[in-house]
Amino acid sequence: MLLALESSCDETAAAIMRPPAELLASEISSQVAKHRPYGGVVPELASRNHLVSLRPVIETTLEKANAELSQMDAFAATAGPGLASSLLMGNTAAKSLSLACDKPFISVNHMEGHLLSPFIGDDREFRPHVALIVSGGHTLLIHARGFGDYKKLGTTRDDAAGEAFDKVGKMLGLPYPGGPEVEKTAVGGDPQRFDFPRAMLNSKDFAFSFSGLKTSVLYTLQKLGEPDAATLSDLCASFQTAVIEVLVAKAAKATRSCGERTLAVSGGVACNNALREALAARCDEDGIELLAVDKTHSTDNAAMIARAAIEKFQRQDYAPLTSDVDPNLSLAP
Ligand code: KG4
Ligand code: ZN
């Protein structure tokens, strides 16, 4: 068994997994309510809260897995990317446990966790695929040729997909974080009412850009004045559809161009039902297998860190206790 910790941003999370991919417990202590008054994550507040939450979260996880620390064969934690002061909390806690229990420490890239998250509970061998990772900090298309063998196909030139959802949510006066609020408000709205730009939809590469779309929503809002409930819903639906159309088209094209038959989608934005439905329809048309992360493991969690750590454990890919966190850790060149 292996205990993994995640603390890269504002969620304190722990999970216990047994090879090959059996999740025994996964706990998340969310700080969303603490950061909401500031409209975003306050790093100092996040790290202080990780310190308070780590011990109870680890204890609850052990209890739910009906396990003891002494039964763990390894300890893992996120090393980056993320907020340095937040990363240090989970990382240091896992290293301390590893030292106290005399078991190896495994250092995990947060993005590799997201990449592996559709494979939680999937005990088949790692299979080559194209991964679309859409979170608050990243929009990435990766060709995963094997575990640890990743080629970056494209990323965003400006805002990440989740960041665009959050900024548009804020502009529309919706609570933080904007992503789930925009999705809720879009239900029943007219996605055709506002013709927002689909940036780089037809570009030959796999790059994305969402800042023009965000600005276009802002200008529309300035022209409209205070929107009524129906207009707000149409704005959300039109914005959401513009993001989704580009994500789906580029992910399908990337899968085809890499000659893969599987597309895996993960990250916080993968919670979005409209995105899941659009991807499913497109993959069905193209004869591609879609592996969409379970909604419970799409936003930050430690189960995904455990899933990546299991792969590393099986390869005896351990990290020394002197290894550092890296806020800018990258997944692929
Ligand atoms: O993966 P994640 O928890 O954190 C990062 O590593 O960034 O993703 C959080 C992001 C936020 O931007 C949030 O607004 C977005 O995922 N998100 C959504 C939905 N649920 C979360 N975006 C669109 N629709 C949703 N239902
Ligand atoms: Zn994340």
Write out the two tokens for 114: 């997201």
Give the ligand 1 atom nearest the CA of 160.
12
- Give the model's pLDDT for residue 176: 86
Reported pTM: 0.95
The percent helix, strand, coil of the chain (3-state, each to 5) is 45, 20, 35
| Position with higher pLDDT, 1 vs 36 | 1
Cβ(281)–Cβ(290) below 8 Å: no
Please report the DSSP string for 17-65 in residue order: EETTTEEEEEEEEE-HHHHGGGTS--HHHHHHHHHHHHHHHHHHHHHHT
pLDDT(333) > 80: no
Whether residue 6 contacts residue 301, with contact meaning beta carbons closer than 8 Å, is answered with: yes
225's CB contacts (< 8 A; 6+ apart) are none
User: What is the total residue count of the chain?
Assistant: 333
Sheet holding 2-6: strands in order across?
A: 22-30, 11-18, 2-6, 74-80, 105-109
Query: Ligand 1 test: best mutation among 29, 41, 165, 300, most atoms within 8 Å of CB?
Result: 165
Q: Which atom of ligand 1 sits closest to the CA of residue 177?
A: 14
Produce one character per residue of 22-42: b if its CB has 16 or more CB atoms within 10 Å, e if not: ebbbbbbbebeeebeeeeebb
Query: Is the sign of the CA dihedral 278, 114, 3, 49 positive or negative?
Result: negative
Q: Percentage of residues in the chain with pLDDT exceeding 70?
A: 100
Confidence of residue 181 (pLDDT cuts 50, 70, 90): very high
The whole-number pLDDT of residue 264 equals 98
CB 305 within 8 A of CB 6: yes
Please enumerate in sequence order all residues whose Cβ is within 8 A of that of 92, keeping only pairs 6 or more positions apart, or say none: none
Q: How far is the CA of 231 from the centre of ligand 2 (A)?
A: 31
Q: Which atom of ligand 1 is nearest to the CA of 11?
A: 3
Residue 212 CA to ligand 2 centre (angstroms): 24
Instruction: Tell which one of 140, 174, 271 to mutate to probe ligand 1, the residue whose CB is within 8 A of the most ligand atoms.
Output: 271
> At 70, is the pLDDT very low, low, confident or very high (cuts 50, 70, 90)?
very high
- Find out whether 16 and 2 touch, Cβ atoms under 8 Å: yes
What end-to-end distance do the CA atoms of the chain give, in Å? 32
> Does position 172 have pLDDT exceeding 90, yes or no?
yes
pLDDT at 235 over 80: yes
Q: Is 226 exposed, middle or buried (0-12, 13-18, 19+ CB in 10 A)?
A: exposed
Residue 125 to residue 19: CA distance in whole angstroms: 12
* Maximal CA-CA distance, the chain: 63
Please give the DSSP secondary-structure letter assigned to residue 125: P
Ligand 1 pocket mutation pick from 299, 300, 329 by most atoms within 8 angstroms of CB = 299
Assign 36 a pLDDT band (cuts: 50, 70, 90): confident
Which ligand has the nearest atom to the CA of 271?
1
DSSP codes, 218-242: HHHHHHH-S--HHHHHHHHHHHHHH
Instruction: Tell me the per-residue pLDDT of 50-65, one tens digit each, with 9 for 90 and over.
Output: 999 999 999 999 999 9
Q: How far is the CA of 143 from the centre of ligand 1 (A)?
A: 22
Relative to the alpha carbon of 110, which ligand is closest? Answer: 2
- Check residue 332 and give its pLDDT: 86
> With left for phi above 0 and alpha for psi between -120 and 50, is residue 66 left, alpha or beta?
left
How far is the C-alpha of 180 from the C-alpha of 62, rounded, in Å? 30
Pocket of ligand 1 (CB under 6 A): 9, 135-137, 162-163, 165-166, 177-180, 183, 267-269, 271-272, 299-300
C-beta separation of 323 from 33 below 8 A:
no
Reported as a single tens digit per residue, the pLDDT across 107-160 is 999 999 999 999 999 988 889 999 999 999 999 999 999 999 999 999 999 999
Q: Are 301 and 10 in contact (CB under 8 A)?
A: no
**Per the structure block, which two tokens stand in for 136?**
């608050």
CA 115 – ligand 1 centroid, Å: 15
**In the block, which residue shows the tokens 């996120």?**
78
Mean pLDDT of the chain: 96
The pLDDT tens digits of the residues spanning 79-105 come to 999 999 999 999 999 999 999 999 999
For residue 267, give the ligand 1 atom closest to its CA.
1
Q: Report pLDDT for 126.
A: 85
In what helix (H) or strand (E) does residue 306 lie, and over which residues does it extend? helix 303-314
Q: Which atom of ligand 1 is nearest to the CA of 273?
A: 26
Tokens matching residue 208: 């994305």
Atom nearest to 178 CA in ligand 1 = 14
